[in-house]
A and B are shown apart, each in its own frame.
Chain A
Amino acid sequence: MRDRLRRAAWTVRAALRRPDGRAAFLIGAGGYPLLYLASIGHLALGGRGRSVLVVDDPVGRAVQQTRPFSFEPVARVVVEPLVVLLSPLDVAVALVLSTLVGANLAVAVAVWRSPAACGVEGSAGLLAGVPALLTGATCCGPAVLFALGVGATGTLLTAFGYATPLTALLLFGGLLLVARSADANAIRTGG
């Protein structure tokens, strides 16, 4: 396992040494937090004017759970047309996931564009980033099911409750999977 982790780190580092790998990482790591925060309702359109609201006792409020792996926003910033809710722990979750998404995307692009790396198993990193985007805003039942018109079962609700850590595991697993067969040298020199 330690060897697998080491190989995964090499693979990511090799991908980040390439311009296309770095660009892919930046796209993934920069774009995913926006998607994640939008999906949980913390980033939306429709704001009017400009305003900043900070709740009383923001430190205490920041650790109050609104649903599994999501916490109370401590501030609302409106800059027309954007409305941003700031929940420090949700931002932290978004940054962890986005780093993993960026790494997966960098490796995927580097492998894809390296002829020498043909035969390497593809990274499922991008798809692995999807579950956390489906948890939705805090309400009774996962918001995505309202959009789809699908009923919620206890099993489904439990699954949604663990979607965020599952996403992190899948993204991390994706990197380990690629590292199993990737030749970092081929990735580094192939581009």
Chain B
Amino acid sequence: MDSQHTRRGALALGIGLAGALAGCLGASSGSSEPPGSSEPPGSSEPPESSASPTPSTTADDAAGPPAADRSPYMAYEASRLRDATVSGGVPKDGIPSIDEPSFLGTSAAALDDREIVFGVVRGDDVRAYPQRILVHHEIVNDRLDGVPVSVTYCPLTGTVLGFERGATTFGVSGTLVNSNLVMYDRATDSRWPQVLATAIEGSLEGRSLREFEVVWTTWGRWRRRHPDTEVLSEDTGYARNYGVDPYGSYTPTVRGYYDRESTMFDPLATDDRLGTKAVVVGARTAAGAAAVSMERLRARGVVDAGLGDDRIAFVHDAALDAGHAYRVPPGVTVESTTDAVRVDGERHAPDALPFERRHAVEAMWFAWAGFYPETTLDA
């Protein structure tokens, strides 16, 4: 009789598990947006100026992406980062980049206003890249204002960055460092952690990419700021279910990776000044890294930070619920008002202060603190 009980138990357990797993038939979710805010006058963000690429000495140099004139601060040697690089469980290009993107106008976009999009303004081109698409591809090789670029998104670190790619394209290597997407360029197969924007392996090791800012916002906010925007189409050349996010959901936030304290992979360093997935806006220069929690930036409007000899002002763009960073001369007063930012009493739109821009990177705190353990933090 014992054996019969065992068999019956195993059968019941198996059927029970099967029933539980049927719950995998997940439905697409609705969405919710943080509280809205007043809309300052929209203005285009000028593209960052960049110097000429470093003179090439090899075929790889010429074929690879153009070099930035300044390398951002790196807290670790490349060898340490290579040692910390792990497989993400997918092969090279297992997560395929979008190499032939197509775009729709606002009326054809069929996006909910609360959906997350990554927005870019470069010259005359204004584009939005929905998170629901990029979560399945991570990289879009595009052209903006005539310049070949890659718009990149890492779901595990919550980071969106734009890079100039030159004559090559970027792909997803399938590996991660500090949970962050490691890209590869198809000209030299050098490896580029997204947040660091610098090659840590391959013939271009040490080269930094020319960056441009990509804004994390919602479709409704972006559309109101830029009514003439184009939006990435789901006609990506791949068959995917763009309604399902394998990591969880932002709209609404459900129990999943995005809101759990735990990380999937060990970070390079831990720092409990904030929760692991709390959103920060960070900036890095040659001198170091500084960050402010998005919560504090929303509340204050403007937050000052010191970075080496530089003074960095983080500015909240309420209409987009995004952060910008500027290098501000000493002695200048920068204040937040309800609908603008005042610089020595003069009104300016938050994305158009009369100072040199620094790339503002939104990131999950664990990722920023892992890459930049000596970062300052205003929280």
Contact = CB atoms under 8 A, between A and B. Distances in A.
A134 B174 CA distance: 19
Contact of A140 (B25, B27, B93, B95): B95
A126 B27 CA distance: 26
A121 to B, nearest CB: 8
A146 B246 contact: yes
A189 B88 CA distance: 52
Contacts of B22: 34-35, 38
A137 B246 contact: yes
Given A108-B7, A151-B264, A142 B89 contact: yes
A111 B7 contact: yes
Contact of A138 (B13, B155, B246): B246
Interface string A14-49: 000000000000000001101100110111111100
A146 B248 contact: yes
B260 interface: yes
A152 to B, nearest CB: 5
Interface stretch (B207-215, B234-242, B292-300): B234-242
Contact of B26 (A45, A68, A138, A141): A45
A188 to B, nearest CB: 18
B24 A139 contact: no
A95 B96 CA distance: 26
Interface string A96-128: 000000000100110110000011111111110
A66 B265 contact: no
- The secondary structure that dominates the B interface is loop
B82 interface: no
A127 B10 contact: yes
A77 to B, nearest CB: 9
B76 interface: no
A124 B39 CA distance: 62
Nearest to A87: B239
A139 B90 contact: yes
Contacts of B26: 44-46
B94 A138 contact: yes
B10 A85 contact: no
Interface residues of A, number: 68
A86 B264 contact: no
A140 B264 contact: yes
Interface in B233-292: 237-241, 243-244, 246-248, 255-257, 260, 262-266
Contact of A118 (B3, B93, B244, B256): B3
Interface string B1-18: 001101110110111011
B24 A39 contact: yes
A107 to B, nearest CB: 11
B95 A39 contact: no
B340 to A, nearest CB: 40
Contacts of A138: 90, 94-95, 136, 246
A72 B353 CA distance: 46
A5 interface: no
Given A39-B24, A67-B91, A138-B246, A55 B257 contact: no
A1 interface: no
Given A44-B25, A67-B94, A146 B15 contact: no
Contacts of B96: 64, 66, 72
Contact of A44 (B7, B10, B243): B243
A81 B241 CA distance: 12
B176 interface: yes
A145 B181 CA distance: 18
A65 B89 CA distance: 12
Given A75-B239, A141-B265, A160-B89, A123 B10 contact: yes
A76 interface: yes
Contacts of B3: 118-122
Contacts of A42: 241
B92 to A, nearest CB: 9
By CB atoms of chain B within 10 A, which of A38, A54, A74 has the most? A38
Interface in B336-379: none
A66 B27 contact: no
Contact of B244 (A44, A124, A154): A44
B104 interface: no
B28 interface: yes
A141 B88 contact: yes
13 contacts: A35-B21, A46-B241, A54-B239, A66-B90, A76-B239, A76-B241, A105-B14, A111-B7, A124-B10, A126-B13, A126-B14, A146-B256, A157-B86
Interface of B: 3-4, 6-8, 10-11, 13-15, 17-18, 21-22, 24-28, 86-91, 93-96, 135-136, 155-156, 176, 179, 181, 237-241, 243-244, 246-248, 255-257, 260, 262-266
